[in-house]
């Protein structure tokens, strides 16, 4: 649900606005306000996602009120004046409704706010979802946990792969394709340099035209992967 408030100094206009809001199933009206200062008090006491806002009001105008907000909710302007439309959109309002507002036009504006609300929520969920720092592989009928930071390089051998770890002389061998494993690895930490090799970028010590070194280990760069290596180094010579 979108938590919203309605702000208008005209009682009849505010009543009509509240009635329109009540007919939209994803809107929940938390308060009606006669001026910007009343609206400001509401914003200080509870989270509000959307404001339906008149422009010409005593004290702070609607546009001045928007400019005063440090953390601005979504705004739909509802006004009797067309002349402020450009000013409104320059303040990133969701929509600009000119009174009298038909219900279908009102619902259209609300749908725009709903789409923006869902987009913001989806982005927030992605931003707060922690990125895994490990993955599991099947070794001898056991799921073995491997941290990305422990991987030095990976070698593909037909249907198997060898994962060489920083603190072990013996690689982990598991039945898996290179493609499947590559999809699990963070692109900012690993680079595929050959159909048979993936390297942890942190452990690269030197790069030649056709090979990459991890200390004294030299691994070939496949023709199909040279562009990725060039992009990594930024050296096109």
Look at residue 163 in the predicted model and tell me its pLDDT: 96
SS3 160: strand
> Tokens for 219?
């691994």
**Residue 160: beta bridge partners?**
157, 175
- Distance (Å, whole) CA 193 – CA 12: 70
Q: List helix spans (H) across the chain.
A: 11-22, 36-45, 62-68, 85-90, 103-128, 178-184, 226-233
Counting beta carbons within 10 angstroms of the beta carbon of residue 165, is it exposed (0 to 12), middle (13 to 18) or buried (19 or more)? Answer: middle
Distance, C-alpha 67 to centroid of its chain: 25
Tens-digit pLDDT string for the chain (237 aa): 999 999 999 999 999 999 999 999 999 999 999 999 999 999 999 999 999 999 999 889 999 999 998 888 999 999 998 888 888 888 889 999 999 999 999 999 999 999 999 888 877 665 555 678 898 999 988 899 999 999 999 999 888 999 999 988 899 999 988 988 888 898 889 999 999 999 999 999 999 889 999 999 999 999 989 888 888 877 655
pTM more than 0.95: no
For the stretch 6-42, pLDDT in tens is: 999 999 999 999 999 999 999 999 999 999 999 999 9
Other C-beta atoms lying within 10 Å of the C-beta of residue 135? 15
152 is written with which tokens?
């030095």
**What does the pLDDT read at residue 43?**
93
Closest CA to 150 of 182, 189, 178: 189
Residues recorded for the chain: 237
Contact between residue 134 and residue 146 where contact means Cβ atoms under 8 Å apart: yes
């Amino acid at each position: 649900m979108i938590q919203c408030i309605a702000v208008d100094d005209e009682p009849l206009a505010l009543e009509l606005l509240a009635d329109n809001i009540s007919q939209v199933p994803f809107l929940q009206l938390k308060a009606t306000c006669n001026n910007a200062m009343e609206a400001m008090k509401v914003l200080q006491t509870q989270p509000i996602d959307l404001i339906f806002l008149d422009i010409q009001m005593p004290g702070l105008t609607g546009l001045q009120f928007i400019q005063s907000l440090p953390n601005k909710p979504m705004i739909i302007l509802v006004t009797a004046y067309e002349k402020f439309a450009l000013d409104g959109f320059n303040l990133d309002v969701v929509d600009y409704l000119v009174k009298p507002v038909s219900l279908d036009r009102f619902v259209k504006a609300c749908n725009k706010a709903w789409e923006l609300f869902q987009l913001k929520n989806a982005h927030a969920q992605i931003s707060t979802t922690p990125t895994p720092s490990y993955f599991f592989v099947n070794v001898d009928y056991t799921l073995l946990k491997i941290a990305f930071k422990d991987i030095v390089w990976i070698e593909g051998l037909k249907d198997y792969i060898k994962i060489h770890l920083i603190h072990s002389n013996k690689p982990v061998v598991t039945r898996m394709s290179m493609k499947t494993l590559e999809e699990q690895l963070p692109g900012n930490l690993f680079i595929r340099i050959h159909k048979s090799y993936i390297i942890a970028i942190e452990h690269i010590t030197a790069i030649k035209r056709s090979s990459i070194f991890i200390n004294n280990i030299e691994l070939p760069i496949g023709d199909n992967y040279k562009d990725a290596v060039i992009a990594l180094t930024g050296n096109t010579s």
